[in-house]
Amino acid sequence: MNEKIHVLISEEEIEKRICEMGKEISESYHGEPVHLVSVLKGGVFFTCELAKRLSIPVSIDFMSVSSYGNDTKSSGVVKIVKDLDDVVEGKNVLVVEDIVDSGRTLSYLLENLKSRKPKSLRLCTLLDKPERRVTDVHVDYTGFAIPDEFVVGYGLDYMQHYRNLPYVGVVELDA
Ligand code: IMP
Ligand code: MG
């Protein structure tokens, strides 16, 4: 790989912010259990770190939806690649995502989950690119709002690479 990666958000900054988010989220559920719906694959890294910072009872399930092919542009097509194992009816569902970009994936996912009658449904994302939004999505908890740049690391990939970077970086594609 010839791409160069520039650090945008350091490992320390991310850890500090996730601690704050864990506290905020725990307080807002007032001791009630929360059912994390982690969006594969990118959301997994953030989900694990966040889950460790929650002081309320936590259960976790996974779902995989695709909206992107192996490039940096949205195809606009969303489909469920892997569905949840457990029912969400009556549960406080918190969807945990790596990034909200156009909002297409999340708006589809949230509508889908809403129809399964959870007790509550909220969205938490590590990163948000508000400038890129084409579909309105209400984000309840945001780690960092970032500019319109293609980022990798902390779960996010470029052609399936770099998910394991412990920081968030910007890819210089022409390097
Ligand atoms: P959306 O449907 O456009 O909001 O796209 C959401 C999905 O696109 C995310 O879950 C990511 O998998 C992917 N994505 C969006 N922006 C980036 C980026 O900057 N880097 C890597 N993946 C991204
Ligand atoms: Mg994702």
Neighbours of ion ligand 2 (CB under 5 A): 42, 98
Q: How far apart are CA 155 and CA 143, in angstroms?
A: 14
102 lines ligand 1 (CB under 6 A): yes
Q: Which of 83, 85, 86, 101 is catalytic?
A: 101
The residue contributing the CA closest to ligand 1 atom 9 is: 99
Query: Does position 169 have pLDDT exceeding 70, yes or no?
Result: yes
Query: Does position 77 have pLDDT exceeding 90, yes or no?
Result: no
Q: 0.95 exceeded by the pTM?
A: no
- Poorest-pLDDT segment among 27-36, 70-79, 129-138: 70-79
- Residue among 90, 97, 69 nearest 159 (CA): 69
Domains of the chain, by residue range, sit at: 10-149
Query: Does position 67 have pLDDT exceeding 90, yes or no?
Result: no
Query: Does position 76 have pLDDT exceeding 90, yes or no?
Result: no
Q: What per-residue confidence (pLDDT) applies to 9?
A: 98
Question: Which CATH number does the domain 10-149 belong to among 3.90.930.60, 3.40.50.970, 3.30.565.10, 3.40.50.2020?
Answer: 3.40.50.2020
128 lines ligand 1 (CB under 6 A): no
